[in-house]
Amino acid sequence: MPTIGTRGSTLARAQTKWVVDKILERFPNARITERIIRTSADKDTKTSIRAGSATGVFVKEIEEALLASDVDLAVHSMKDLPTRIPDALVVGAIPAREDARDALIAAGSCRRLEDLPPGAVIGTGSIRRQAQVLALRPDLVVKDIRGNVETRFQKLAERDYDAVILACAGLNRLGLQDRIHVRFDYREMLPAPGQGALALQVRRGDERTAAMIAGLNDSPTATAVLAERAFLRRMGGGCNSPIAVYARSVNDTCIIEGLVATPDGKTVIRDSAECSPATANEAAEALAERLLSIGGAEILRSLR
């Protein structure tokens, strides 16, 4: 009877329900319980996620419960999972990815980024999104925002912001896709590493739980996401860095696009690589090396 650990947000619960339903399709007699775990990000809703100490704030307590055998399976948003995890834990499955793009939701009658007036206020907690939206519209003002999807929509309705940027994947999973005004093209805004994907984490050696989730793994998604994480690891950044990457399979080729930018969007260093799926991690690391060598390292040093 496995116990699944998850955060208590509406999105986290929706993601966990999806995983449970998929497990029950394969193991209809399984008895699965759910345990809500408050993470550091849930306890502190005021400190900016951009803070340097923010690494792992969405997953640390869940991983601790997994290590203590209080839960048997953890469901994370992959983009929240640090590139280095405890040796006693392993990502046992990466399900098929949702839409990895970023979405613009605007207040009032504006429906496109170009419709927003000069000086319009954009809400995002991501320095990656900040850099890329300012590269598109340097006349806009970006302000930090915290809270779950519902809270952000409320702040938008109260006109604290003129628009907010959220992940398409989360809105789709919550059935809120009709609220999206713009789905940014990847040429306009690259996502965070692992955005749109889930990470199903188990204890190393727990063969029973690993077997229950093995069928949920999607090989093309896993190849892409692991390459993105290899890119991020080599770049030396985290979730609060102006780093973006997206990998995808086209026929038998893996295409990886990555960038690093200054927070003000004035400098964007971007490049891409093509490789076989079998060499995706190595190609991602080589891409990161190139970006670092042509100015990326200087950008990241300036932010420390």
Q: Which of 21, 44, 80, 206 is catalytic?
A: 80
* pLDDT tens-digit readout, 166-189: 999 999 999 999 999 999 999 999
Looking up residue 290, the CATH number of its domain turns out to be: 3.30.160.40
Residue 189, in any domain of the structure: no
Residue 252, in any domain of the structure: yes
* DSSP state for residue 196 in the 8-state scheme: T
Are 72 and 207 part of one and the same domain?
yes
**For the ranges 188-192, 284-288, 299-303, which has the lowest average pLDDT?**
299-303
Are 170 and 212 part of one and the same domain?
no
pLDDT attached to residue 53:
45
CB 18 within 8 A of CB 27: no
Concerning whether 80 is annotated as a catalytic residue, the answer is: yes
Please state the domain count of the chain: 3
Are 13 and 86 part of one and the same domain?
yes
Are 144 and 204 part of one and the same domain?
no
Q: What is the pTM of this model?
A: 0.93
- Please compute Rg for the chain using Cα positions: 19
Residue 188, in any domain of the structure: no
Are 90 and 206 part of one and the same domain?
yes
- Cα–Cα distance, 21 to 152 (Å, whole number): 28
Are 144 and 282 part of one and the same domain?
no
Are 142 and 164 part of one and the same domain?
yes
Are 18 and 87 part of one and the same domain?
yes
Q: Residue 66 — φ and ψ, nearest 5°?
A: -65, -45
Looking up residue 169, the CATH number of its domain turns out to be: 3.40.190.10
Are 245 and 108 part of one and the same domain?
no
Domain containing 33 equals: 3-95+198-217
Q: Which of 300, 7, 293, 295 is nearest to 148 (CA)?
A: 7
> How does residue 47 score in pLDDT terms, banded at 50, 70 and 90?
low
Whole-number average pLDDT of the chain: 93
Per-residue CA distances from 217 to 12, 95, 198 (Å)? 19, 5, 10
Long-range Cβ pairs for the range 291-299 (8 Å, 24+): 291/235, 291/258, 291/259, 291/260, 292/234, 292/235, 292/260, 294/269, 295/260, 295/267, 295/269, 296/235, 296/260, 296/269, 299/242, 299/260, 299/261, 299/262, 299/267, 299/269
Residue 223, in any domain of the structure: no
Are 14 and 151 part of one and the same domain?
no
